[in-house]
Amino acid sequence: METYTNILITGGGGFLGQHVVDAVKRRFGPEAVITIPERPGDDLRQMETCRRLAAGKDLIIHLAARVGGIGYNRENPATLFYDNAVMGIQLMEAAHQAGVKKFVALGTVCAYPKFTPVPFKEDDLWIGYPEETNAPYGLAKKMLLVQAQAYRQQYGFNAIYLLPVNLYGPGDNFDPRSSHVIPALIRKMVEAREAGAPAVEIWGTGKASREFCFVRDAAEAIAAAAEKYDAPEPMNIGSGSEISIKDLAELVSRIVGYSGRLDWNSSQPDGQPRRCLDISRAKQALGFVSATPLEQGLQETAAWFEAHRATL
């Protein structure tokens, strides 16, 4: 097993990245030097930036991404495709040129085809086209798997590809213009509770299902894969259980103490009909099992939002 002491973690200051930095420090010890690119000076869309950051590193964990919820994906498909594709492709090429020992690319559950059989198995990644509202983002990230396997085949480059499910937890993005479903529901229901609003509107029918993984659990899996997983096949990272959006909304309303009505706006999209991962590969290769039950994680996330909402 390789030892890594000079590590680059892109996106290390972000929601997931902060937890990955902590997990990597625990796993690789105090002798590991971790570099975290800073905005706006370290623009990964510029090849010279990628080359500078990759120089002298022996491990790169690429978490940096431009992301958002359904609305943000519908409004910014070109931006999401270009930024995510260019950042990852250029950074992996720079890593190869610099002789980096290992590259960890983070994909997305949005890369899976719209009608993937449940639970999603990594071998089913190519059986169809992703759900249309987030296909440009999902395909941009999926190209990093193609690149990783091509570089392994031609150059012997040790690049691995991880597929995390929807993440949530304290420190998530609660901006209503770009947040994902859990922080969006928490914010909307807390504000409705404070305002005494009789109802909140929620996009879709509530019939779609999602799987969620608590951010600290996902960070532990990513750090473990950085240390232990060296295979060309992609690996799912998740909790292995799903919940309907309707049940999720009702659970959030109970946790935050909102007793009003939930009005479903079926003119807005549900997104992918179902999402639930087969996590057996991660369990077998890493011994990884998500430790945080959904209700416990939601309580911690809602409490964090209530404590920090004045600054958000």
Could you tell me how many helices (H) and strands (E) the chain has, helices first? Answer: 10, 11
Query: Of these residues, 4, 137, 151, 229, which one is catalytic?
Result: 137
219 within 8 A of 225, measured Cβ to Cβ: no
Q: Tokens at residue 230, please?
A: 């060296």
137 is an active site residue = yes
Q: How far apart are CA 151 and CA 101, in angstroms?
A: 13
Q: Where are the beta strands (DSSP E) in 22-131?
A: 33-35, 59-62, 102-106
Q: How far apart are CA 288 and CA 145, in angstroms?
A: 21
Q: Is 33 left (phi over 0), alpha (psi -120 to 50) or beta?
A: beta
User: Which residues, listed in sequence order, are joined to residue 236 by a DSSP beta bridge?
Assistant: 163
Encoded amino acid at 71, one letter: G
Q: Which residue has tokens 């473990």?
A: 224
Beta pairing class for 209-214 and 242-244: antiparallel
Of 148, 150, 65, 151, give the one whose Cα is nearest residue 108. Answer: 65
User: Which residues, listed in sequence order, are joined to residue 97 by a DSSP beta bridge?
Assistant: none
CA 115 to chain centre: 20
DSSP 12: T
Q: Find the helix packing angle between 245-256 and 181-195, rounded to 10°.
A: 40
Integer CA distances (angstroms), 35 to 38, 53, 54, 59, 210, in order: 9, 8, 10, 10, 33
Beta pairing class for 235-237 and 261-265: unpaired
Catalytic machinery residues: 137
